[in-house]
């Protein structure tokens, strides 16, 4: 049983506020992901839960009990560090057994041996148990770090960007393996990453943090399909969402998005009507954009010129210049366009997003 | 090292009194340093002489006034700086030169590197005695003998007030120039390789690279060598005591040696401590300034 | 093109040759002197070719029988032993006091931390007599003059600041995450210190111990003023051979060799830590 | 200068008897071409670039620019500019002087230097940081300064040594588009080294895939992707990676033949067996198929469909990655996002023959099955009905 609640947690280094007024509620056995750029305060939050970083103010509750004043060893948390933090002078076996040898746990030697071998089997480490960390590859070291945390079946399992130092191929494999291993953790998992695909793949729920604040908390599809503001929309998706600034104006009492000569009709909604005249920006995801050579009949298009086309294996990314904006669109690998060829950017009306320019707050999401 | 602006690690959470408990033993030792220091400063304001320890009387600044007015003090002051300045300059130039010669690896460079540490590991007093033998004035000294082979008449070295200071500088350079070589070698090794390759590709000449790239990048090492060598040569003692003991005719009496004479030879502890306090103040000011400069240069 | 590179190589060889003759020449000369009999020693012009003899070494260790050299004083081994005792005791005490201080200065943050650290350093940059002379007076009053405990206490002023600063650098080299990981794994700070930090810093401790030993061994000014007949060290012993009326160069050379060779062997083991030690941990090179 | 020709070039460290860093490379880089050397770290790609730049001596073989032999020409005489992996900026001087450095050495008049520096700074959008020092700049900014320094000399060829590897995703995408634009504007030969296949596919006119010091294949991005010369190229290029199945060719009575995977029928071979291939056919093969080429469905639609069960499904926004358990190995399949799969849900997998590549198991070399000849009949192979 391990649900974690953070109430008004704040962390300051001198006058720099790394984490400001954080309120999070993580349910038992949940795979909770904190996603954000570097410097968003996500690792600091994790270290505050683990007790390595003291909380400047606010409370951290584990199953209702406050733990923010406990020292790390008094909290039933295990942590996988971004740099693995293996003990260089101990063998792999001793690294994994180390937590169980802690005096307060009083585990007998063969209990330790059983637990270590069990974990070694799950993570496929039985072949290099007696080697030193320095002689291991990145992937192997990462498994040892996982094993060291798994062996004690903690209430809370903290993971600080465990995959960020692996090469692309190994990262995908380990991500899938962690997802497959999820049941064997048997604890609440708090996973920190800057890679949106890890968040979407692994998270039951995702919290997106930016400069010490939580922008949105939700399930992967909530966060991807209905971002609460422009920042969240930009964070998720590679290549990221395209934006075009403009204003909302009335055209025979229908709200319309205008930018210079371009006019794009918007669905009738009281909220949009209230924002007539306001600066807004239109959001379009690359996979929702079609590049046509002929002018589409629907009003949902923009004129553009091909800037550069990049083939990426199963698909290609075409960068097109729309006025002085650069839009990215996904297209078929074998679709060839020539440089500066005039193209029409077309999309289906339900794929449009609209955000307020100043606060970035969402006005129109996909599908409504 | 000096102040820790460059230590960017955030410390562990403070554990109530634990840090103080841990440093307590060292704190006691610290008092072991401060107490005599304060006692020494107190003596500078008294007429304390070792022969009559009974009557210590506060005499205010009398010692200072008398000493600052006395030509012997300024002679020693001047000598100290001449010695320090020449030692530091020679060791900087020689150290950098030899380090550059040892820069690119060639067979045997490791052995030469380990030979470098030998002079520094020998007690300075012993090195001075070694040189005393080598610098014997008549043809008996091996250096005079070798110079004689190339037609130079024997030099009195430590025996002649004209050449005594030069001989001491020679001894100091022998002992501590390897220190400068090692620091510069470490500095050269820690320099980034890529800018040199970029300069090669851009077609820069050797001298251009040295002036515009190597020297600026070596500034931290230069400041570090200056810091350690300047302070140590200001307070040099062993080398002079073993050879000339300040002679001949006071030609090599530095502040540190003069303080020894005042306090031990003529038992005038009060006056001896004034010399020491002045020398300490000089060393403190230079060490604070240079270590601050070192941190600043390192950050850039 | 070829000639300029060849010319540069010759110049480099000449430069290095000159410097290393200057650096190693004196030591070789003294080694030769230690093997010369009493006449060859003072020969003028100095002799490069001679029949080596161990006479000097015998004179200062077991002592020659009376009729050979009337001033032979076989008490040099006693000085060697004194220095061994003082240096080892000093290093042991410094290690005990300094290790915890170094760890706490490296890992914890507390008020006056940097001031304490800088005070240690400032003694390294202060003239030794500034502290020794007052200590002389204090030792006179407390009867610690010419006593092993007195000297071991006084020598702390050489080795303790050095040990704390360099060891602090070694503790700071341990990545912080490793200690944090051990804390999260359920160890108190003492458990982490004993099972992670200390083992990882072992090579550093060895280097610091050897270097402190060498610095204590080499010191002269402390022993001269605070020591005396009973606790005479090698450095004073060697100086003793340069009397006013008779100068025993041969004996001095032999004493020098006996004093220096063990040190150089020790120094050889820690040669890649020397730069770090001499700069108080400033240069990690 | 137009072409860069490497003729049997090799590089061995420790004075020529150490391991090969580059083994017997022969390649012609055409004028104005954007050639990318792609390979895992340690495959020798950087050594090739450094040999072309003159920073590394060539152990064997001949390197020539156009038709003059340049093996021993010093770097500065080769009229090439280079951007380094960690930027190689001169830390002690301001950005403006860093860019002007190559021109100052060539004693250009100060007016022309300033005008050239301004042009280069505008080309890579760093006009606002000309007076800053390198250590004050972000990775992206330092990379742009290093690019400007290369541009300003108007060299015959540009060399890039993994210039984008330390940038974050957004900066990397922006710089990629910019380098591609610079190439189309300047029309100069560019040689680019990277381990990131997306960069290679996006930027290159032609890609040279390197592995363990040997050239595996040279070709346009399409050729490398769709027509891999061996198993390494197939497996290395494409993300997520190509699936490999151990297969063998079974020849049935009545002349038709099919591909067997673990005893089951994977695909029918339309053509006939070519007698010349007879021997090769019997050696074990590897079938490679890319994740976005595998079809799956709830019911069995063809005799060649294989039974598998779902192991994990990850929805990644624009696409989904489905991992299925097939006999003794896992297969990765690319799907649409936001699908739902139950654990161990049975699925039928179909691998279209036209999207499969076959490689010999020992040599890894590509094995072209389309030259099969049906006339040869060979008895005696059981078939699996499942």
Residues 6+ apart with CB under 8 A from A137: none
Global pTM reads 0.84
pLDDT at A341: 82
3-class DSSP assignment, residue D44:
coil
Alpha-carbon distance values, D189 to A216, D76, D160, D173 (Å): 47, 17, 11, 21
Cα(D312)–Cα(C67) distance, integer angstroms? 98
What is the domain range of residue B246? 71-299
| D88 vs B contacts (CB less than 8 Å) | 192, 194-195, 197-198
| A105 vs C contacts (CB less than 8 Å) | 186
> Between chains, do A313 and D317 touch, taking CB under 8 Å as contact?
no
| D105 vs B contacts (CB less than 8 Å) | 202-205, 208
Q: Is A13 on the interface with B (CB under 8 A)?
A: yes
> Between chains, do A54 and B13 touch, taking CB under 8 Å as contact?
yes
> Between chains, do B237 and C221 touch, taking CB under 8 Å as contact?
yes
3-class DSSP assignment, residue A354:
strand
The whole-angstrom distance between C234's CA and the closest CA on chain B is 10
> Between chains, do B26 and C283 touch, taking CB under 8 Å as contact?
no
Scored b (16 or more CB within 10 A) or e, C6-30 reads eeeeeeeeeebeebeeebeebbebb
D28: cis peptide before it, omega within 30°?
A: no
Cα(B124)–Cα(B200) distance, integer angstroms? 44
Residue of chain B whose Cα is closest to the Cα of D92: B216
Residue with tokens 């390759």: B197
Task: Look at residues A338, A309, A314 and name the one whose alpha carbon lies nearest to residue D225.
Answer: A314
- D359: burial class by Cβ within 10 Å (0-12, 13-18, 19+)? buried
Inter-residue contact D359 to D367 (CB < 8 Å)? yes
Cα(D287)–Cα(D231) distance, integer angstroms? 9
Q: Which of residues 93-112 of D touch A (CB under 8 A)?
A: none
Angle between helices D95-105 and D110-123 (to 10 degrees): 130
> Between chains, do B10 and A54 touch, taking CB under 8 Å as contact?
no
Instruction: Beginning with the edge strand found earlier in the chain, give each strand of the sheet holding A353-356 in spatial order.
Output: A262-265, A254-259, A242-251, A279-284, A353-356, A362-364
The neighbour count for residue C170, using CB atoms within 10 Å, is 24
Domain C76-278 fold is: MetI-like fold (1.10.3720)
- Among positive and negative, which fits the CA dihedral A175, A177, A178, A179? positive
Nearest CB partner across the interface for A50, out of C175, C184, C187: C184
Asked whether the predicted pLDDT for residue A264 surpasses 50, the reply is: yes
The token duo for B6 is: 């460059």
Do B and A make contact via 3 or more CB pairs under 8 A? The reply is yes
DSSP class of A210:
E
Cα(C46)–Cα(B141) distance, integer angstroms? 7
Do C and B make contact via 3 or more CB pairs under 8 A? The reply is yes
pLDDT at D383: 28
Cα(B218)–Cα(B190) distance, integer angstroms? 10
| B10 vs A contacts (CB less than 8 Å) | 13, 53
| D239 vs A contacts (CB less than 8 Å) | 168, 172, 312-313
3-class DSSP assignment, residue A257:
strand
Inter-residue contact A212 to A17 (CB < 8 Å)? yes
> Between chains, do B202 and D105 touch, taking CB under 8 Å as contact?
yes
- Measured in whole angstroms, the distance separating CA D90 from the mean position of its chain's CA atoms is 31
Q: CA-based diameter of chain A, in Å? A: 81
Nearest CB partner across the interface for B126, out of C107, C120, C259: C259
Do D and C make contact via 3 or more CB pairs under 8 A? The reply is no
Cα(D104)–Cα(D113) distance, integer angstroms? 8
Alpha-carbon distance values, D18 to A76, D42, D71, D355 (Å): 52, 15, 20, 41
pLDDT at A292: 87
C-alpha angle B206-B208-B214 in degrees, rounded to nearest 5: 80
pLDDT at D253: 61
Q: Which CATH entry fits the domain spanning D4-236: 3.60.40.10, 2.40.50.140, 3.40.50.300, 2.30.38.10?
A: 3.40.50.300
- Please list the pLDDT of chain C residue by residue as tens digits (285 residues): 567 788 888 998 899 999 999 999 999 999 998 998 888 887 877 888 888 888 888 888 877 654 555 455 567 888 999 999 999 999 999 999 899 989 988 988 878 888 888 888 888 888 999 999 999 999 988 998 999 999 999 998 889 989 999 999 999 999 989 999 998 998 888 899 999 999 999 999 999 999 999 999 999 999 999 988 889 999 988 888 877 667 788 888 999 999 999 999 999 888 888 888 888 888 875
> Across the strands, what pairs with D64?
D5, D69
Residue with tokens 């499969």: D356
> How many domains are there within chain B?
1
Nearest CB partner across the interface for C191, out of A79, A82, A103: A103
Alpha-carbon distance values, B277 to A317, B42, D92, D353 (Å): 75, 10, 40, 93
Q: Is A157 on the interface with C (CB under 8 A)?
A: no
3-class DSSP assignment, residue C47:
coil
Residues 6+ apart with CB under 8 A from A229: A215, A216, A355, A359, A360, A361, A362
**What secondary structure does DSSP assign to D322-361, as a single string?**
EEEEETTEEEEEEE-SS----TT-EEEEE--GGGEEEEET
Cα(D77)–Cα(A320) distance, integer angstroms? 40
Inter-residue contact A101 to C185 (CB < 8 Å)? no
CATH code, B173: 1.10.3720.10
Q: Is C184 on the interface with B (CB under 8 A)?
A: no
User: What whole-number percentage of chain A has pLDDT above 90?
Assistant: 40
> Between chains, do C275 and B98 touch, taking CB under 8 Å as contact?
no
C277: left (phi over 0), alpha (psi -120 to 50) or beta: alpha
Cα(D250)–Cα(D345) distance, integer angstroms? 30
Q: Is B7 on the interface with A (CB under 8 A)?
A: no
Domain A4-227: give its CATH superfamily: P-loop containing nucleotide triphosphate hydrolases (3.40.50.300)
Task: Please write the tens of the pLDDT for every residue from A188-211.
Answer: 999 999 999 899 999 999 999 999
The neighbour count for residue A206, using CB atoms within 10 Å, is 28
Residue of chain D whose Cα is closest to the Cα of B217: D92
- Measured in whole angstroms, the distance separating CA B264 from the mean position of its chain's CA atoms is 23
> Between chains, do B26 and C33 touch, taking CB under 8 Å as contact?
no
A239: cis peptide before it, omega within 30°?
A: yes
| B203 vs D contacts (CB less than 8 Å) | 75-77, 102, 105-106
Residues 6+ apart with CB under 8 A from A298: A346, A349
pLDDT at C1: 52
The token duo for D56 is: 């590394």
Q: Where are the domains of chain C?
A: 2-61, 76-278
Alpha-helix runs per DSSP H in D2-109: 45-53, 95-105
Instruction: Beginning with the edge strand found earlier in the chain, give each strand of the sheet holding D4-12 in spatial order.
Output: D20-29, D4-12, D60-65, D68-69
Please report, to the nearest 10 degrees, the dihedral formed by the alpha carbons of residues D337, D338, D344, D350 taken in order.
-40
Cα(B66)–Cα(B58) distance, integer angstroms? 15
Task: Please write the tens of the pLDDT for every residue from B93-135.
Answer: 999 999 999 987 778 888 888 899 899 999 999 999 999 989 9
Query: Is A242-364 CATH 3.30.70.890?
Result: no
Q: Where are the domains of chain A?
A: 4-227, 242-364
CATH of domain D243-371: 2.40.50.140
ipTM (interface predicted TM): 0.81
Touching B: which chains, 3+ CB pairs < 8 A? A, C, D
Residue with tokens 């220190």: B179
> Between chains, do D92 and B208 touch, taking CB under 8 Å as contact?
no
Cβ-based contacts under 8 A for chains B and D? 67
The token duo for A10 is: 């704040």
- Please list the pLDDT of chain D residue by residue as tens digits (386 residues): 568 999 999 998 877 678 888 999 999 999 999 999 999 888 889 999 999 998 888 999 999 998 889 988 888 888 888 888 888 888 888 899 889 988 888 888 999 999 999 988 888 888 888 999 888 888 888 888 988 888 888 888 999 998 888 777 777 877 888 888 888 888 999 999 998 888 898 889 999 999 999 999 999 988 898 889 999 999 888 888 899 998 888 776 655 778 888 878 888 776 555 555 555 566 788 889 999 889 999 888 888 888 899 988 988 888 889 999 988 888 999 998 888 888 889 999 998 888 888 888 888 888 776 544 332 323 222 222 22
Cβ-based contacts under 8 A for chains A and B? 5
Nearest CB partner across the interface for C116, out of B23, B94, B122: B23
> Between chains, do B13 and A13 touch, taking CB under 8 Å as contact?
no
pLDDT at D376: 30
- Please list the pLDDT of chain B residue by residue as tens digits (300 residues): 343 333 333 444 445 667 778 878 878 887 888 899 999 999 999 888 888 877 788 888 888 999 999 999 999 999 999 999 999 999 999 999 999 999 877 788 888 888 998 999 999 999 999 999 899 888 888 888 888 888 888 888 888 888 999 999 999 999 999 999 999 999 998 888 888 888 888 877 788 888 888 888 899 999 999 999 999 999 999 999 999 888 888 889 999 999 999 988 888 888 899 999 999 999 999 999 998 898 888 876
Q: Is B13 on the interface with A (CB under 8 A)?
A: yes
3-class DSSP assignment, residue B297:
helix
pLDDT at D165: 82
Task: Look at residues A291, B232, D9, B48 and name the one whose alpha carbon lies nearest to residue C279.
Answer: B232
D93: left (phi over 0), alpha (psi -120 to 50) or beta: beta
Q: CA-based diameter of chain B, in Å? A: 78
């Amino acid at each position: 049983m391990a649900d974690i609640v953070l109430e008004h947690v704040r962390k300051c280094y001198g006058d720099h506020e790394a984490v400001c007024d954080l309120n999070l509620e993580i349910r038992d056995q949940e795979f909770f992901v904190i996603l954000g750029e570097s410097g968003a305060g996500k690792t600091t939050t994790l270290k505050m839960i683990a007790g390595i970083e003291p909380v400047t103010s606010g409370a951290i509750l584990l199953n209702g009990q406050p733990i923010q004043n406990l020292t790390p060893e008094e909290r039933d948390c295990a942590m996988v560090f971004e740099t693995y933090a293996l003990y260089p002078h101990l063998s792999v076996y001793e690294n994994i057994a180390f937590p169980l040898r802690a005096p307060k746990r009083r585990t007998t030697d063969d209990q330790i041996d059983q637990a270590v071998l069990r974990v070694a089997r799950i993570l496929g480490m039985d072949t290099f148990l007696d080697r030193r960390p320095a002689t291991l590859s990145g992937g192997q070291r990462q498994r040892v770090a996982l094993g060291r945390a798994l062996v004690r079946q903690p209430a809370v399992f903290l993971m600080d960007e465990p995959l960020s130092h692996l090469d692309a191929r190994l990262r995908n494999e380990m991500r899938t393996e962690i997802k497959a291993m999820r049941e064997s953790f048997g604890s609440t998992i708090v996973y920190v990453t800057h890679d949106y695909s890890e968040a979407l793949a692994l998270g039951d729920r995702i919290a997106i943090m930016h400069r010490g604040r939580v922008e949105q908390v939700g399930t992967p599809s909530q966060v991807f399909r209905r971002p609460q503001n422009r920042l969240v929309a930009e964070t998720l998706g590679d290549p990221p969402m395209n934006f075009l600034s403009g204003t909302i104006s009335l055209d025979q009492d229908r709200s319309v998005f205008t930018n210079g000569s371009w006019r794009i009709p918007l669905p009738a909604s009281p909220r949009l009507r209230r924002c007539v005249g306001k600066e807004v920006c239109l959001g379009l995801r690359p996979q929702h954009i079609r590049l046509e050579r002929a002018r589409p009949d629907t009003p949902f298009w923009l004129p553009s010129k091909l800037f550069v086309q990049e083939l990426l294996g199963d698909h290609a990314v075409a960068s097109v210049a729309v006025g002085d904006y650069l839009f990215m669109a996904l297209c078929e690998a074998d679709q060839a366009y020539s440089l500066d060829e005039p193209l029409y950017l077309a999309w289906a009306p339900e794929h449009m997003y609209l955000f307020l320019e100043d606060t970035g707050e969402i006005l129109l999401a996909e599908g409504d | 090292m000096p102040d820790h602006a460059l230590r960017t690690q955030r410390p562990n959470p403070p554990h109530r009194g634990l840090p103080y408990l841990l440093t307590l033993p060292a704190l006691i030792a610290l008092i072991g340093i401060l107490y005599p220091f304060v006692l020494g400063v107190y003596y500078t304001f008294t007429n304390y002489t070792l022969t009559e320890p009974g009557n210590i009387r506060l005499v205010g600044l009398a010692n200072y006034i008398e000493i600052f007015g006395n030509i012997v003090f300024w002679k020693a002051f001047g000598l100290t700086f001449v010695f320090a300045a020449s030692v530091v300059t020679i060791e900087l130039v020689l150290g950098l030169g030899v380090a550059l010669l040892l820069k690119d690896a060639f067979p045997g460079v490791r052995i030469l590197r380990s030979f470098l540490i030998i002079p520094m590991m020998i007690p300075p007093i012993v090195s001075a005695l070694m040189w005393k033998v080598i610098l014997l004035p008549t043809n008996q000294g091996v250096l005079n003998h070798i110079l004689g082979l190339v037609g130079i008449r024997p030099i009195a070295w430590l025996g002649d007030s004209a050449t005594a200071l030069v001989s001491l500088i020679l001894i100091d350079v022998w002992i501590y120039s390897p220190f400068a070589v090692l620091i510069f070698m470490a500095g050269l090794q820690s320099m980034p390789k890529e800018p040199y390759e970029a300069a090669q590709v851009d077609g820069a000449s050797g001298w251009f690279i040295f002036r515009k790239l190597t020297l600026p990048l070596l500034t931290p090492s230069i400041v570090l060598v200056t810091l350690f060598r300047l302070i140590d040569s200001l307070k040099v003692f062993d080398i002079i005591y073993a050879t000339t003991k300040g002679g001949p005719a006071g030609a090599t009496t530095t502040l540190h040696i003069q303080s020894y004479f005042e306090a031990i030879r003529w038992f005038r502890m009060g006056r001896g401590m004034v010399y020491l306090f002045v020398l300490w103040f000089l060393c403190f000011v230079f060490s604070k300034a240079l270590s601050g400069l070192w941190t600043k240069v390192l950050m850039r | 093109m070829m000639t300029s590179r060849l010319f540069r190589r010759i110049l480099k060889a000449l430069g290095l040759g000159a410097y290393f003759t200057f650096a190693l020449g004196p030591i070789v000369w003294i080694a030769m002197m230690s093997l010369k009999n009493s006449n060859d020693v003072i020969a003028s012009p100095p002799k490069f070719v001679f029949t080596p003899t161990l006479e000097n070494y015998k004179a200062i260790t077991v002592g020659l029988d009376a009729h050979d050299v009337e001033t032979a004083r076989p008490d040099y081994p006693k000085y060697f032993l004194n220095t061994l005792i003082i240096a080892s005791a000093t290093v042991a005490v410094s290690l005990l006091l300094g290790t915890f201080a170094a760890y706490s200065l490296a890992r914890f943050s507390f008020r006056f931390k940097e001031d304490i650290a800088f005070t240690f350093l400032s003694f390294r940059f202060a003239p030794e007599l500034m502290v020794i002379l007052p200590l002389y007076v204090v030792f006179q009053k407390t009867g610690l003059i010419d006593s092993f405990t007195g000297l071991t206490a006084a020598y702390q002023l050489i080795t303790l600041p050095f040990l704390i600063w360099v060891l602090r650098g070694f503790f700071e080299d341990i990545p912080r995450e490793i200690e944090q990981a051990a804390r999260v794994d359920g160890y108190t700070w003492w458990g982490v210190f004993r099972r992670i930090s200390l083992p990882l810093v072992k090579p550093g401790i060895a280097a610091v111990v050897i270097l402190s030993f060498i610095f204590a061994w080499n010191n002269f000014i402390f022993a001269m003023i605070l020591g005396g007949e009973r606790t005479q060290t090698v450095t004073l012993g060697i100086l003793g051979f340069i009397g006013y009326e008779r100068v025993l160069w041969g004996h001095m050379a032999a004493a020098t060799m006996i004093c220096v060779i063990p040190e150089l062997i020790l120094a050889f083991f820690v040669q890649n830590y020397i730069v770090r030690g001499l700069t108080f941990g400033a240069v990690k090179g | 200068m137009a072409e860069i020709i490497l003729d049997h070039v090799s590089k061995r460290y420790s004075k020529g008897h150490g391991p090969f860093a580059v083994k017997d490379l022969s390649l012609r880089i055409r004028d104005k071409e954007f050639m990318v050397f792609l390979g895992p770290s340690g495959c020798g790609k950087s050594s090739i670039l450094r040999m072309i730049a003159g920073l590394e001596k060539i152990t064997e073989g001949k390197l020539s620019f156009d038709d003059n032999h340049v093996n021993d020409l010093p770097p500065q005489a080769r009229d090439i500019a280079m951007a380094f992996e960690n930027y190689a900026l001169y830390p002690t001087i301001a950005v403006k002087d860093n860019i002007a450095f190559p021109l100052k050495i060539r004693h250009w008049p100060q007016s022309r230097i300033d005008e050239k520096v301004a042009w280069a700074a505008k080309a890579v959008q760093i006009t606002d940081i000309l007076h800053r020092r390198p250590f004050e700049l972000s990775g992206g900014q330092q990379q742009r300064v290093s690019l400007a320094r290369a541009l300003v000399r108007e060299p015959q060829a540009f060399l890039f040594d993994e210039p984008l590897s330390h940038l974050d995703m957004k900066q990397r995408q922006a710089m990629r588009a910019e380098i591609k634009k610079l190439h189309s504007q300047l029309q100069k030969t560019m040689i680019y080294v990277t381990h990131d296949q997306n960069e290679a596919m996006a930027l290159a006119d032609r890609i040279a895939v390197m592995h363990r010091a040997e050239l595996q294949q040279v070709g346009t991005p399409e050729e490398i992707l769709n027509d891999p010369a061996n198993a390494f190229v197939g497996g290395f290029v494409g993300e997520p990676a190509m699936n490999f199945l151990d297969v063998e060719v079974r020849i049935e009575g009545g002349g038709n033949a099919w591909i067997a995977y673990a005893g089951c029928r994977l695909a029918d071979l339309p053509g006939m067996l070519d007698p010349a291939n007879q021997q090769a056919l019997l050696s074990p093969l590897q079938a490679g198929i890319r994740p976005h080429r595998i079809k799956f469905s709830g019911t069995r639609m063809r005799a060649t469909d294989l039974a598998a069960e779902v192991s994990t499904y990850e929805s990644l926004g624009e696409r989904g990655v489905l991992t299925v358990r097939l006999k003794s190995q896992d297969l990765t399949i690319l799907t649409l996002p936001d699908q739902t799969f139950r654990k161990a849900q049975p699925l039928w997998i179909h691998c279209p023959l036209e999207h499969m590549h076959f490689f010999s198991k020992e040599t890894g070399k590509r094995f072209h099955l389309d030259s099969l000849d049906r006339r040869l009949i060979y008895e005696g192979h059981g078939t699996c009905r499942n």
